[in-house]
Structures are given as structure tokens and as C-alpha cells.
Structure 1
């Protein structure tokens, strides 16, 4: 018997029905990929399945006692406590006991009575395996159970909520874009975990490799209707194309017949007093059918604004090192980026991908070594946190910036028409940016990016929240881009289809350089357990040098003044404080409530973030100068 059954379900948010006469059943053991264009209703269908929304019409039947867990795109406002507390909440009362045990075992003062009581409850419920499941999931998703949930960034909060969904062991697991903000290693682990999932799984994803690896069935939402396909992505794409071609031919035949009948009715009025009333009624029915027909939405049309060619040598790095005390991020890295290169950056979260980008672009000064930037560079930067969009401007203002026309693909376009290429109606283009969905914000950032003349394109996680059609069009555009591309992405297919070489953050500051995309790196990477060969590393038997001593030779030591020595001593604490402030300001911008503030408050927040980041950069520069002067 199906766990959940939908029968003739309608749901509307105004205008045409978002979901119309949807009938669907979900059985245990199925892994259903839910696909469709941005705004088609995928997240809405998940909320209907979970019971968080009620249909306007039709019925939803859930098998008695079925447990459902849903990972949503938005972070709920009520979640609080430590990471362990939030994750354990997914197991109800047992989770509360495990959280209590976790707090007692980490408390400064040991409460033997309380510990004994909660242990008895856990043992009576046979709950220690659940505790182990929580700890293993936290480790796999690189989460610290003692971190305070409220202090995490928006992306890390989503990761915690994913862990909560996984440990609850529901009968039906609903996941909305589970790979967002996960690094490739975590995605690989999640794939393996979900392949062994005994219950039913319904998931929304833009990651085609993730979809192919997991889906046993594909459910597509298209213009309010759902259709079922076997879990074979290539077969789905082929059969869908065939269906759309047949639909287009049928619509063309219908429209031609309708046009003929319209001509007949006008001629008939002039030619005779009486007409074929049956034919008139058929014409009226055809008019109604044409008015109710929902045509397939258009595709994004993307072109890039053209800039002159850069110099042949775009960026050159020589023995570059950068890191924090005890944590090297980039160590003795050398390499040259030439005009036309398409380079992907991959690695676990926190290993230094964004740091390496900033070093290569000259936004961050290396602690040792040298970065040389080429000539005639025009850089366009895609920021994964969308910080380059002004929240007090609408979509039109963000792209136009006071201009009426943009120059794209060698053509002059009105800004309203240009935004229509990115599926923004004139009304939507003038609506407050706070009303845009995640997918619309990503499309807007792409529109803003490609309106800028560039010959060096830097993209940090551009695929989040894009539907598959837009993703494939973006791949085609980047493949034809005449300039140089630096791409950070966790989307393995996207990397394979776009980049020609990869820089891999391999840990301990080592940056590996490989030919090809993600799949090519898998074939070339060192085998597990083999020590990577790091340029500048000591030979076997030699003592390991301190990180600060790697790379270029240090300057001759001199004695610092008392004031400089005191400043050097205090700078690490000041840097840590500023980094915390930057993290908190950035995390606040990822909260849904942030965009409901007034424009003045949003602008002030952006200014505070920019000022704090600038102060942090100055503190790092001063720390580096004093360390070099002291010979530390």
C-alpha cells in the first residue's frame, strides 16, 4: 500500500493553478527525483506531501502512522541551542534525552543523579544506536555538535537541518536541494547514505550526477501537470523532447485550423444571413481551449558583454603561501593562468578555495611569494552570497545602474528587453528585489554579471537554485566564452562540461594542479594513503619547517620597538574578532528576515560589512609587515 497518495490535487497562489489535478503515489523504497522549472511548484508539492500545506481541492491520504521529515530551503526561525540539540530534535523525545545526556557529559560540574536518570531513559528506549547515528552524521557533514546554531552562517544552518532530517529515520524523507552548501566529499557521502535508505525518498536537486545516481523514478512538474518517467535521465530527456515536439506540432495544427475558422466566420457574416450553428459552436469551443492553453515557458537567452583581449599571461603565482597560525591554507603554490584557460577550483569547505581566488585576483596579499596580474584585465565576479546585488534597488536598477541601454553580444539592448532574456517580465523587473526567489536572484546576478564587459570571469558557486535548463544554457555560454574563467563549484557534471583544468585544495595548504575536470581528477589523484608531493616539503628524515618559514626567504630580523612588539602580540586576537564580525554580518544576510527590513537598514548593513572587511584586510597587512620585520 502506498505511503502517501495524492488524488486530483489542485493548488493555487493566484493566477493559473500552480498544481492542477495532480495524482501521485509514493511507495516505500522509491527514490523520486522531482524536477521542473524554477517556480513550477516543486517546493510547494513537497510541502503538500509533508502536510505543511493543504490543497485547494482534491485529497491527500497518508498511511496511518507514517513518519515524514522534510528539509526545507528556508531556515526555520524557531531553531535554537547547540548543533547537537537541533539535530537530535529530529528524533522527538529520544532526541531530547540524548541532547540532555550530551550537555551533562560536557558540563563543568558532573551531576551524577541527573546523568543516571537520563541514561536509564535512553537505555530503556534502546537509544544508544541513535546517539551513534547523530555523532556519525555530524562527523560526515563536518559539523561540531557544540557550536551554537544561531551563530552559524545560513549555509551551515542548512547543513545542520540536513543532518536533522537524516537522523530522524522517517518513512518518507523529503529533501529540497540537499546538495546546496555541501562540498564534493559530503555530496559523495550523502549519495551513498541515501542509496541505502530503506524508506521512501522524494528530492529536488539541480545536480544531475546526484539525480542520476539516486533516482529510481522521475516526476516532472510542467505547467501545473505532473508526469512520471523511469529513473533514467538520458531516456527522460529524449522522451521529453519527443513529447514537446509532438505538442508543438499539435499546437501549430490547432492554431492553423483556428485561424481558418476565424476567417470563415468573418466571411460568413458578409456572405449569408444564416450560418452553420454547429460550426459556430465548435469555433467558440476552440477559442476557449486556446485561451486556457498554457504554453511552455521560454528559456533564458544569455550572451556576454564583450571586452578587449587581455594579455596572454593573465595571472602568475610564484611560491605563494597564506594561512592562519596553525592552519596553512595555501603553501608554496606556483602556477600560471593563460588567456582562454577555464580553471575549476574544488576542495572541502574551509580548505581555502575562496582564499586562493582572492590571492589570484590581488584582493589578498600573500604572506610570502608573489602574484603578478596581467595587463588589460576586465574582471566580472559572481558572488555565491549575492552580495553584489543592492537590496534597496529592484532588478532593473541593479542591472541598469542609471543607464537605459546595455551593450551585450555586440548589440545595444534596452535594459527591460535584456532582463526579459532572463525571464523577468517588465512588472517583475520593477518589483522589490526582496520578493525574488533564490532562482530569480541567481538569474538576476547572471544578468548583471554578463552585462559587464569582461575578459576574466570569476564564478563562485553559480549553479545553486538554477533549474536544469538554465544550467545547461550556462554551460554552453561558458564553453563559448572567449576570455578566461575561474570557477568554484561542487556540481561535478558542471565542472566536467566547462573546465579544462582543476586546482584542488588537498589539505595542509597543498594545491594540486590537474588536467581536465572533476572526473579526470578522480583518475589522476593520489591513491588514499599516499602522501602528496608538496613543493618545498622537507625530504624524508628532515625536520618539518614551520609554515611561516615556507616559501620565500624571510627578511633579516630586526628588533621591534616596544609599541610594535605590543601591537604584534595583540593583532591575532583583533583579527579573530574582526573575522567573527564579518562571519556574523554575512550570516545575517543569508537569513530570510534580512530582506524584509527597510532599504536604509539593508544599505547600512552592507556598508558595515564592507568597512569591517576593509579593517580586517588592514589588520592582516599590518600583521604580515610586523612579522616580516621581526623575522618571526
Structure 2
């Protein structure tokens, strides 16, 4: 289906390599996952696989590709801007949509619990929730006659039933699927081959590896191999150091004899010993070059909440009684009763379009009116991030050099290079933008956090640190999430939102 030979991809902005000497064969039916830290080029590689013209404006590349497919479907990380002004009717029944299998279209709508009568609605795509936007793209793209499916973060924003449906679909479809994902559970359920993009040595060196393994096996084998190599390298260096110390003592002894020997015959013997010692020294130098290399891996997130002064544990910061959730003139949920205390961590799940993000925004407004300091991560980062500003400008309040250096240090701990810290935010990947909001919350040290899909753009290697960061947070968290591992690790209580209100559910039911 697809064969890549010795591909190297270089970003024109910084002339830094994103992909290094990648050779990859994608066979029919493969489920290939592209993983790696934020900003490592996963989406660019995905687009390049489809058509190199899609990235030629900012990527230089060398290497060859052979594509043994003619038609493919593609679902990007965000809805293309040209689609936002389309109605549902135009999106599904526009003049260009002549290659759709309409029987499949309606079948997928039923399976994904999307009312097919809405296909003909005048509702604009821009008014749909993130999950519904992704769901309609799935319905349409899967109904096309294609043999390759390219997905960029397909698990983002989907409700749990749809997420499980998509996992089952990818497992069982005969189509070849190449996808980018950060969801560890989703990866473990779907991938049969892993392509890992890394940037090591302070993000200056690209390293690209391919393994025909499932994600859980790959992650465990990678950890085991790293640990084995690290232990072997340490043992060899310890043994080598002991040899050097013993040799150094011998060298000193012979050197002392050379200086204090005045007899010619004895001097020749000592000189011969010195030659042997020097020869052995050269052998040790050569041995040092053959020692097992100390393994390197990409740094993960290093962030910690500190100086947080949580509000009293018994204090209720949010209380809703018989609250009616409305969007415009439409009532989504008529009877919401909800209470959250100042040191409680609460998760909210529910189907796409039910109003989870709207409820979180309402809570945000209430807390602002009550005067609480709040850290907020919306689903759409653009709500808080000026795309024309740089990360440095976003995180600093003045031109003070000391503050700037402190922020640069924090950004470096999140794998931002100094160049990336001064790029416009619009140049950054979704994951890097998420990191900026994460860092802003850490720096602001607010006792209350509102999070809408907080892990959606963080890499699998960063996910454990992100989960631990929020699990250790001493204040209150209210989060909308479909990340099952995150919800189980971080939240004390989980609620399901539907038309009847909020009801508590067990973690085992996720």
C-alpha cells in the first residue's frame, strides 16, 4: 500500500530535522500509529504520506515514497476552515459529493447514533460541538470508496460509546489505517505497527523508529530495552573505572621506580615496564570507545504545582440546583443538580452535543462572578491564546529579563527550544499550545481548575506525567474528559450528563 525509503523531513523555519532516515512498509490491512512528543512532526508526516504537496510550503524532504493506492479518506485534527460556513445539507449533499455510498452513510449514522434526518438541516458545521464535528466527518469519510484511511487524532472529542465503536471499527476493517493518536488506551486497542518520532539531545537530533508491535507491547519492550542498556552501560563503565584505577596505581609505582632507579641494568628493566604500562593505557582508551552507549530518550514533561493554597476542604465552591442548561433558545438539560467542594476532583462524561463544554463554561462564569482565582483550559485553545503572540509573550507580564529567563526555563522543561519560544503561537502544534495553557495554570497557582479535554493533545510519553500532575493538585478540579485512564487516575467522582441531568457513575463502568 505504501513504501517509504530513507525519508528525512526538515522544517524550513529552523532547519531542524523532524524525521530522520525513515524506511517504512505499510501493508494492506495494517493499522499504523504515529506517536511522539508535541511538535515532532506527526501531522506533517501523515500529510506527506498522502501527498507531499500538502507540506511543501514549510517542509524540505529527501527520500522516496511509493504509493500503491489511488483513493484515500482523511480526517484532520481540526475541521478545515472552508467547511465551517457549510450547512449539514451542503456538507453531505453538495455537488462534489458524488462518490458517497449512501447506504453506508445511513448505516454509519445509525451505528454512531447520529440522527440521519439532520443530514438535510441548514445548521452550520461551525455550530456543532467538537465531538459532533468529528462524528460527521467519520460518517462521511467512511462512506467513501477508499482503501486507505488517514486519521489525525481521531479519538479527540469523541464520547465514550463512539470511541469504543471507532476502536472496534479500526480493529476489524480491511482498510489500511494510518493515524496519529495520544490516547494510550486507544493505541493499545488498535495499533499493529508503531512509528515513533523523537527529538533527543535537547531537541536537536531527530530519531525515528519503527516496530511491528501493538502499542502496549512496544511501550513495555522500549522501557525494558532502555533499562537493560542503561544497566549494562553502567556496569561496563564501573568495571572499566576499576581497571583504570588499578592501572593508575601501577603507573604511579612504575613512574616512581623510573625516577629513583640509578642502576643502568635495573633502569632498562623499569623502562620496559613503563612501555608495557603505556601500551596498556592505549588499550584501555580503545576499550572505552567500545563500551555500550548510554541510552538516550526524549525528555518528558517536568511540571509541578507549588505554592497552591487550597480553599477549605468543606467549602462548596459550586452549587447548582434544578439548573436548566440552555444554548441559545434550546434547552439541552432541564434538571441539573451539582455540588463540588474546594478540594474535590470531578469528571464529567456524556454523549457528544449534550452540552458538557457549555456546562463547564457556565461553571467558569459563576466562579469568575464569585471572585475565585481559576485556571481554565478550554477545548478550543484559541479562546485564550492570541495566535499572533509568541509563547514568551503569552507567559510574561513585562519585559523583565529575570522573568523572561524563568519562563524560558519552564518552556525548556516542556521541550520548547528557544526558537519555538519566540515563534508565533499559530506555528505551534495543538499539543504545544496545550502545554502553554498547562504551564500558565502552574505559574498562576490558582486553587480551582476547569479543564475541557485536558489530555487530548499530549503524547503517550507525556500522559503519565500529566495525569500525576493533576492527581497531585491539592485544590478543586472539574474536568470534561473522554480519556478513561485520566478519569480513573485523577477524579474522585465521575458524573454522566444526559437529558435528565447528572448522575454519578462508577469508574469501572467507563
TM-score (norm 1): 0.62
2:307 counterpart residue number: 306
Contact 2:325 2:331 in 1 (8 A): yes
1:137 counterpart residue number: 108
Q: SS of the counterpart of 1:224?
A: strand
Query: Per-residue deviation at 1:167?
Result: 1.5
Once residues 172 and 62 of structure 1 are traced to their aligned partners in structure 2, the CA distance between those partners, rounded to angstroms, is 10
Question: Residue 196 of structure 1 is aligned with which of 172, 197, 203?
Answer: 172
Structure 2: segments with no counterpart, 5+ residues: 199-205, 249-273
Residues 542-570 of structure 1, C-alpha deviations (whole Å, 9 max, x = no match): xxxxxxxxxxxxxxxxxxxxxxxxxxxxx
Structure 2 residue 453 is matched with structure 1 residue 461 = yes
Q: SS of the counterpart of 2:11?
A: coil
Question: Residue 213 of structure 2 is aligned with which of 230, 241, 257?
Answer: 230
1:24 counterpart residue number: 24
Question: Residue 336 of structure 1 is aligned with which of 336, 339, 351?
Answer: 339
Contact 1:319 1:333 in 2 (8 A): yes
Query: Per-residue deviation at 1:251?
Result: 7.0
Once residues 31 and 437 of structure 1 are traced to their aligned partners in structure 2, the CA distance between those partners, rounded to angstroms, is 23
Contact 1:304 1:450 in 2 (8 A): yes
2:34 counterpart residue number: 34
Instruction: Point out which structure has higher relative CO (alpha carbons under 8 A, 6+ apart).
Output: 2
Query: Per-residue deviation at 1:328?
Result: 3.5
2:183 counterpart residue number: 207
Once residues 167 and 34 of structure 1 are traced to their aligned partners in structure 2, the CA distance between those partners, rounded to angstroms, is 24
Flag as ranges the 4+ runs of structure 1 deviating above 6 A.
250-258
Query: Per-residue deviation at 1:481?
Result: 0.9
Q: SS of the counterpart of 2:106?
A: helix
Question: Residue 172 of structure 1 is aligned with which of 121, 142, 148?
Answer: 148
TM-aligned CA distance change 1:12 to 1:403, over 3 Å: closer
Structure 2 residue 80 is matched with structure 1 residue 73 = no
Q: SS of the counterpart of 2:17?
A: coil
Once residues 172 and 106 of structure 2 are traced to their aligned partners in structure 1, the CA distance between those partners, rounded to angstroms, is 18
Once residues 8 and 41 of structure 1 are traced to their aligned partners in structure 2, the CA distance between those partners, rounded to angstroms, is 16
Once residues 180 and 131 of structure 1 are traced to their aligned partners in structure 2, the CA distance between those partners, rounded to angstroms, is 26
Once residues 16 and 391 of structure 1 are traced to their aligned partners in structure 2, the CA distance between those partners, rounded to angstroms, is 22
> How many residues in Structure 1 have an aligned counterpart in Structure 2?
450
Query: Per-residue deviation at 1:152?
Result: 4.6
Residues 277-321 of structure 1, C-alpha deviations (whole Å, 9 max, x = no match): xx89x99x97xxx9xx99533222111242323132223333333
Once residues 171 and 97 of structure 1 are traced to their aligned partners in structure 2, the CA distance between those partners, rounded to angstroms, is 14
Residues 309-352 of structure 1, C-alpha deviations (whole Å, 9 max, x = no match): 31322233333334369854343433432232110011123322
Question: Residue 376 of structure 2 is aligned with which of 377, 381, 387?
Answer: 381
Q: SS of the counterpart of 2:98?
A: helix
Contact 1:50 1:69 in 2 (8 A): no
TM-aligned CA distance change 1:325 to 1:413, over 3 Å: closer
Q: SS of the counterpart of 1:502?
A: strand
Q: SS of the counterpart of 1:307?
A: coil
Query: Per-residue deviation at 1:151?
Result: 4.5
Residues 192-236 of structure 1, C-alpha deviations (whole Å, 9 max, x = no match): 3333311211211112222222223333233332220421x3322
1:583 counterpart residue number: none
TM-aligned CA distance change 1:97 to 1:199, over 3 Å: closer
Once residues 479 and 388 of structure 1 are traced to their aligned partners in structure 2, the CA distance between those partners, rounded to angstroms, is 24
1:323 counterpart residue number: 326
Residues 359-396 of structure 1, C-alpha deviations (whole Å, 9 max, x = no match): 4455399xxxxxx97xx943221122222223443212
Query: Per-residue deviation at 1:250?
Result: 7.0
Contact 1:330 1:356 in 2 (8 A): no
Query: Per-residue deviation at 1:161?
Result: 3.6
Query: Per-residue deviation at 1:474?
Result: 1.0
Structure 2 residue 467 is matched with structure 1 residue 496 = no
For the aligned residue pairs, the C-alpha RMSD in angstroms reads 4.0
More strand by share: 2
Query: Per-residue deviation at 1:157?
Result: 5.1
Once residues 327 and 220 of structure 2 are traced to their aligned partners in structure 1, the CA distance between those partners, rounded to angstroms, is 51
Any residues of structure 2 matched to 1:285-304 within 5 Å, and which? 295-304=296-305
Once residues 362 and 378 of structure 1 are traced to their aligned partners in structure 2, the CA distance between those partners, rounded to angstroms, is 12
Structure 2 residue 42 is matched with structure 1 residue 47 = no
Structure 1: segments with no counterpart, 5+ residues: 99-129, 265-270, 366-371, 523-632
Residues 381-421 of structure 1, C-alpha deviations (whole Å, 9 max, x = no match): 112222222344321221122275999xxxx9822222222
2:429 counterpart residue number: 437
Q: SS of the counterpart of 1:25?
A: strand
